Chain A
Amino acid sequence: DAKTTQPNSMESNEEEPVHLPCNHSTISGTDYIHWYRQLPSQGPEYVIHGLTSNVNNRMASLAIAEDRKSSTLILHRATLRDAAVYYCILRGNTDKLIFGTGTRLQVFP
């Protein structure tokens, strides 16, 4: 299974944009890039996913490098409710979700 590398933690101030990086240099052509987040003592929540093109939804944007070896989750205006652990996951057509330790995002007022 292709692996991802994320920073252990990041900090942001409220109302500022946040860019959460993810490296996946061994990604294969059929791997989708998924992002989930987990608030304390809750189950993970789907954020966004993409294959090749950048993606936007109401929660975030996903910017995928042209060579697909890295991606960035963008929260346009961080709020206190965005404080969570963010997981970047690669998933092929027959793979299961494999969660690493993710990036713990702290948001300060």
Chain B
Amino acid sequence: DGGITQSPKYLFRKEGQNVTLSCEQNLNHDAMYWYRQDPGQGLRLIYYSQIVNDFQKGDIAEGYSVSREKKESFPLTVTSAQKNPTAFYLCASSPEDPGWETQYFGPGTRLLVL
């Protein structure tokens, strides 16, 4: 089945540690996105990529980094510079990025700081 997979489902981070969240899609989509969601809030855009080897910062990119070496993969690293990383992280993809295209979301990764 085509879709977006995120792993792990739960991730624990120690203070000062970098962690990487995985996002893979087999939908052959060009655009991929990372969002953060805090309890009771909507989603906020961290980074997005419209093509391989290119990505742009979203609204809350500080403390995060990404790479897009392959079309199907868009991993997100939460660095130690992100002081409040506890949140629900969602990855999405879309065929292109104009206003009419819909986004397909993965199941999410919940990150907790120990």
Contact = CB atoms under 8 A, between A and B. Distances in A.
- Chain B associates with chain A: yes
Interface of A: 30-32, 34, 36, 41-46, 49, 51, 87, 91-102
B98 A93 contact: yes
A44 B4 CA distance: 12
A34 B90 contact: no
Given A49-B102, A92-B99, A100 B108 contact: no
Interface in B33-49: 33, 35, 40-45, 48
Interface in B56-89: 58, 88
Nearest to A87: B42
B42 A91 contact: no
Interface size range on B against A: 20 to 34
B7 interface: no
B41 A43 contact: no
B42 A99 contact: yes
Interface in B9-55: 33, 35, 40-45, 48
A101 B58 CA distance: 18
Contact of A93 (B4, B44, B99, B105): B99
